[in-house]
Amino acid sequence: MDLWVPTELDETRQRPDPRLEEVIAAIRINPENSTGWAWLAITLQAEENIIPGPVFARLVEKGKSRWAKEKPGLPVNAYQGLFPVLESLSRRPVSPHYWYKLVLGSRDFLGENPSFFAPLIGGAYDQALYFNPDLAIGYLERGIFCLEVDQSFLKKSRGDCLTDLKRSLELEPELMPRMIEELGNLSFPMETVVDILPKEKSLAWISAGKILLEKNQVALGETLYLKGELLKIKETEALSARIRNRLREGKDVQLEDLVRELSLLDPDHPSIGYARGDPLKALDQASKRGWPFRRLDELSRLRSGLITLNPGSDADRLRVSFYLAWLDLEEKNFKEAARGLDLVLEKNPNLYPALLAREQILNQEAKTEEVKILLEKIQKKIKLFSMEEIPSGAWVAAVGRPEEAEPRSYRAVLRNDRPLSELKITTPIEAEGWMVFVDARIVAAREIKGNALKINLPFPLVPGEHQVIIRPLQSSQQR
């Protein structure tokens, strides 16, 4: 049998994990190899039926242990359980991995002697984060541990604990769900979560808002969620500008990384579709948000992209024609825009955005009798489709996004011919409360009586067609 030689801890290795006897033999041959002791810790944890005491005695008797001579003052059972990690650290104290192993191993003994083990664990966390200052989960766990134990053991204040939690979210906002769960286990007052949330990380605010809504803390959940949406606008604007510059300069370096980062923040952002070669999708999303198209790219480049498309359906060909006309409108080429929109409306007389665009042009023309007649005709059709509120009969069962809508979510199309700062809804069923999304962005989470809901929108709703989704709050679904 080949002698097993300890190598770095590599989860991609092809060889199976070593047996206990192989590890002990390797340590006896070269006790100064820190990795051998680390493998011993892993092996003892994996084989729960092995008692560490006899293994410890076998190695100590042969004089292989450093820590046995130093007598660190640990209780006997704890010392025997932790000695492989301690031996690793004595040989390689700069390894955050080994310090983290000491944290995990020591927690089992915390209840036996908190005054001894709390500082030991706290110090191990400190060392792990000193050698790896970007370990987000380490800050989270150290912050929770700090709140969990008597802080006098650690010589820290509650503020130090919260600083760690905040730092973990700055590094990795996706840790918010776990943090809320851990804080809930400690009966932590959720009102103070605001003090932990990093000012510039929208995902942390949104995640906190979602979780609190699920826990039926509606007012606080809505506040955090909407604050996150406002922060998200700043973050996405910065990323969108970087993507736009890369595209204009013809640089593919880091482009997909930027797009991926933007999609985590806002999956429906117009810049994503445009960067990935789908200008129609990008223009659809831009128009719903009221963006001028030059915010996506130079109008000449947008036009070239649309002209070179090869749409696969009549509907897509109509969208191309419509957006080419809209580009003329943005360039104030009103005659060409009117001609293009008239062709679009010949094929689909009820295309609401085209009707709005045609009205906009007619309002700027000299009011001849012919223009007046056409304007009146267009405006009558717009009024026919426009809605001041969404009635109960307009809703249908929703599937898919946002948030993987459950079967009890409902969707409706809202067509508005003027900017809206307020949204009125009559829900299809009664519930204790609703979450409301417009074009995949949350606008409200409210507890209500009956089925009438009036919302002051956090952003103005531009004229056009919008998808509205409503979902009962968690408490309503559990009734």
Successive 10-residue mean pLDDT values, the chain, 479 residues: 48 60 77 76 67 67 58 59 75 81 81 84 90 93 91 84 93 91 87 85 89 85 89 91 86 86 91 91 90 89 90 91 95 94 95 94 88 92 92 84 61 93 91 88 84 88 92 62
- Helix H or strand E encompassing 396: strand 396-397
What span, in angstroms and rounded, lies between the C-alpha atoms of 266 and 229? 10
Distance of CA 420 to the CA centre of its chain: 28
Residue 340 within any structural domain of the chain: no
Assign 207 to helix, strand or coil.
helix
Residue where a domain stops, chosen among 211, 228, 245: 228
Residue 428 within any structural domain of the chain: yes
pLDDT the model gives residue 468:
93
Contact assessment for residue 258 and residue 246, using Cβ atoms and an 8 Å cutoff: yes
pLDDT the model gives residue 405:
47
Residue 317 within any structural domain of the chain: no
pLDDT the model gives residue 478:
44
Rg (C-alpha) for the chain, rounded Å, is 31
Residue 368 within any structural domain of the chain: no
pLDDT the model gives residue 1:
33
Structure tokens at 411: 């969707």
- Partners of 444 in the β-ladder: 436
Q: Which domain holds residue 164?
A: 20-228
Structure tokens at 447: 């507890």
pLDDT the model gives residue 399:
66
User: Of the candidates 131, 122, 175, 210, which has an alpha carbon nearest to the alpha carbon of residue 402?
Assistant: 210
Q: How many domains does the chain have?
A: 2
Residue 253 within any structural domain of the chain: no
Residue 235 within any structural domain of the chain: no
Residue where a domain stops, chosen among 228, 261, 283: 228
pLDDT the model gives residue 12:
44
- The CA–CA distances, whole Å, from 264 to 42, 175, 347, 402 equal 36, 14, 38, 13
Q: In CATH, what number is assigned to the domain containing residue 450?
A: 2.60.40
Residue 400 within any structural domain of the chain: yes
Residue 372 within any structural domain of the chain: no
pLDDT the model gives residue 327:
95
Residue where a domain stops, chosen among 228, 259, 294: 228
pLDDT the model gives residue 3:
47
